[in-house]
Amino acid sequence: MPRATGVRGFLERLDRGPVIGDGGFVFALEKRGYVEAGPWTPEAVIEHPEAVKQLHREFLRAGADVCQAFTFYASEDKLKNRGHSAGSHGVKGINQAACDIVKEVTYPEGGLVAGGVSQTPSYITTRDKALVQAEVRKQCEIFKKNEVDLMICEYYEHVEEAEWHVEAVKDFMPGTPVCASLCINEDTDVHGVPTGECGVKLARAGADVIGINCHYDPFRCLDAVKKMIKNVKAAGFDKVHFMIQPLAFMTPDASVQGFIDLPEFPFALEPRICTRFEMQRYAREAYEAGIRFIGGCCGFEPYHIRALSEELSAERGGFEPASGMIGWGKCLEKHTKPWVRARASKEYWQNLKPGTGRPHSSSFSKCDQWGITAGHELMSQHEEATGDEALKKALEFKKRMENVEIIINA
Ligand code: CBH
Ligand code: ZN
């Protein structure tokens, strides 16, 4: 079955049934060698357009309905932060290249195109509303010109910054649906605002779709969105829809800043990757919780999105992604070895507890919890590169934290 494309509008599609998002671009493209870990900025849209285009194609083929222009962290202050050179391409250059790429591959397939903005270094450094909203508007100029189908404001640890972004986008692009997504857990944002309340604040700021992305595994993100749903509904916003784009890594042990605090972030997270069967379970639970925009963030590869599409195929009018698993591994019936053929069932894969092959690794890790955020000198951002002195300060702080721990444990 082809993608059901009768309805053009994003919000109308959400009213009708589940809408599948795409996966994580910075993580997927870093692994392929096109994005630099650290800044995580999207200059690949200019430097390696073919790589970005191919990833959009693969997410679409896996069943994504919404493709997000690869403009993550493309605010001017972030492109130039700490000696980063991506600023030379300019915000407009990057965003236009991203729009050209995503429109070319998405529209022929009947998908929708999202523009995107995300947290800015200016917020944690200044908490100056006018300055932060000016950064947002610079990025939106291109999205407005390109008439994107929706905007995704994503990846905020502070609900206050998300509210400012939503207000700015709504004001600058009236009529364009706006999604607002925080990277917080089931408890609070990093200022201690309860997660459910954060949802209400975003609704008041004018967001049409509200939810969570990144930082935590699918099941912790589900718990967080459920809290938002409860509070937003209780506050009387009955037209608001909900979204979820979690990590593809299991993070039961992650603390306040999610996977960033895990010692494995960002280069050794592989043992935590969710299986496609865990993704199917996640998609089902999200749909049953009433969430209609369901996708992925860091760690999600196209086959994870395919698992979501397959799970929700009936709810999407029988749409089947290309090269699906055909009934939980029915294809394995064609294997030459009988013990592999015997794995051709839903039951087998649903009940499997996969081994990690690492007899000395533990299931949980100990998080870095430095307890500092906006306002602390080590958190302030600037254009100069991180010099030896600044690096030394961070290492000294690390040592102090370790000593505190020795005292506490003594
Ligand atoms: O890449 C994407 O798909 C974006 N839509 C979301 C990225 S989530 C954030 C990753 C950056 C982490 C960091 O700053 O260390
Ligand atoms: Zn992410």
Gap from CA of 24 to ligand 2 centroid (Å): 6
pLDDT in tens, 117-152: 999 999 999 999 999 999 999 999 999 999 999 999
pLDDT for position 272: 97
Specify whether 311 is located in the same domain as 400: no
**Where residue 201 falls among pLDDT bands split at 50, 70, 90?**
very high
**Where residue 1 falls among pLDDT bands split at 50, 70, 90?**
low
Specify whether 244 is located in the same domain as 392: no
**Where residue 175 falls among pLDDT bands split at 50, 70, 90?**
very high
Average pLDDT, the chain: 94
Which ligand 1 atom is nearest residue 266's CA? 15
Gap from CA of 88 to ligand 1 centroid (Å): 21
Let me know: does 201 contact 173? Beta carbons within 8 Å.
no
Which ligand 1 atom is nearest residue 260's CA? 15
Share of the chain above pLDDT 90, in %: 82
pLDDT for position 403: 84
Q: What are the φ/ψ torsions at residue 174 (nearest 5 degrees)?
A: -60, 140
> Is 80 exceeded by the pLDDT of residue 3?
no
Ligand 1 in reach of 120 Cβ (< 6 A): no
In degrees, rounded to 5, the angle at the alpha carbon of residue 22 between the alpha carbons of residues 18 and 289 is 35
Q: Which amino acid is at 312?
A: L
- Would residue 118 count as lying in a domain? yes
Q: What does the alpha-carbon distance between residue 257 and residue 146 come to, in Å, rounded to a whole number?
A: 34
**Last residue of some domain: 316, 337, 357?**
316
Gap from CA of 245 to ligand 2 centroid (Å): 8
Specify whether 248 is located in the same domain as 389: no
- Would residue 258 count as lying in a domain? yes
Q: 124-133, 236-245, 291-300, 400-409 — which is least confidently predicted?
A: 400-409
Q: Which amino acid is at 37?
A: A
Q: What does the alpha-carbon distance between residue 86 and residue 179 come to, in Å, rounded to a whole number?
A: 26
Ligand 1 in reach of 26 Cβ (< 6 A): yes
pLDDT for position 167: 98
**Where residue 327 falls among pLDDT bands split at 50, 70, 90?**
confident
pLDDT for position 358: 93
> Is 70 exceeded by the pLDDT of residue 4?
no
**Last residue of some domain: 301, 316, 331?**
316
> Is 90 exceeded by the pLDDT of residue 8?
no
Domain count, the chain: 2
Specify whether 312 is located in the same domain as 381: no
- Would residue 322 count as lying in a domain? no
Specify whether 304 is located in the same domain as 382: no
Ligand 1 in reach of 40 Cβ (< 6 A): yes
**Where residue 5 falls among pLDDT bands split at 50, 70, 90?**
low
> Higher confidence at residue 374 or residue 382?
382
pLDDT for position 205: 98
> Is 70 exceeded by the pLDDT of residue 28?
yes
**Ligand 2 is a single-atom ion; what residues have CB below 5 A from it?**
214, 297-298
Report the b/e string of 332-363 with b at 16+ CB within 10 A.
beeeeeeeeeebbeeeebeeeeeeeeeeeeee
pLDDT for position 274: 97
pLDDT for position 324: 66
Ligand 1 in reach of 214 Cβ (< 6 A): yes
Q: Whose CA is nearest to atom 11 of ligand 1?
A: 40
Q: Which among 29, 30, 32, 40 is the best mutation to test ligand 1's pocket, defined by most ligand atoms within 8 Å of the CB?
A: 40
**Where residue 185 falls among pLDDT bands split at 50, 70, 90?**
very high
pTM of the model: 0.95
Ligand 1 in reach of 72 Cβ (< 6 A): yes
Q: Which among 245, 298, 304 is the best mutation to test ligand 1's pocket, defined by most ligand atoms within 8 Å of the CB?
A: 298
Ligand 1 in reach of 190 Cβ (< 6 A): no
> Is 90 exceeded by the pLDDT of residue 322?
no
* 308: CB partners within 8 A, 6+ apart: 20, 63, 279, 280, 282, 283, 294, 295, 296
Ligand 1 in reach of 259 Cβ (< 6 A): no
Specify whether 272 is located in the same domain as 391: no
Q: Which among 22, 26, 59 is the best mutation to test ligand 1's pocket, defined by most ligand atoms within 8 Å of the CB?
A: 26
Gap from CA of 313 to ligand 2 centroid (Å): 25
- Would residue 358 count as lying in a domain? no
Q: What is the mean pLDDT of residues 73-84?
A: 90
Q: What is the mean pLDDT of residues 259-284?
A: 97
- Would residue 112 count as lying in a domain? yes
pLDDT for position 106: 98
> Is 80 exceeded by the pLDDT of residue 2?
no
Domain span at residue 386 reads 377-409
Question: Could you give the 3-state DSSP secondary structure of residue 68?
Answer: strand
Share of the chain above pLDDT 70, in %: 98
Ligand 1 in reach of 155 Cβ (< 6 A): yes
Q: Which among 22, 27, 71 is the best mutation to test ligand 1's pocket, defined by most ligand atoms within 8 Å of the CB?
A: 27
- Would residue 330 count as lying in a domain? no
Please report which ligand is nearest the Cα atom of 68: 1
pLDDT for position 372: 85
> Is 80 exceeded by the pLDDT of residue 168?
yes
**Last residue of some domain: 316, 345, 368?**
316
Ligand 1 in reach of 321 Cβ (< 6 A): no
DSSP-assigned letters across all residues of 351-384: H-----S-TT--SS-PPP-----TTSGGG---SS
Gap from CA of 247 to ligand 2 centroid (Å): 6
Specify whether 25 is located in the same domain as 152: yes
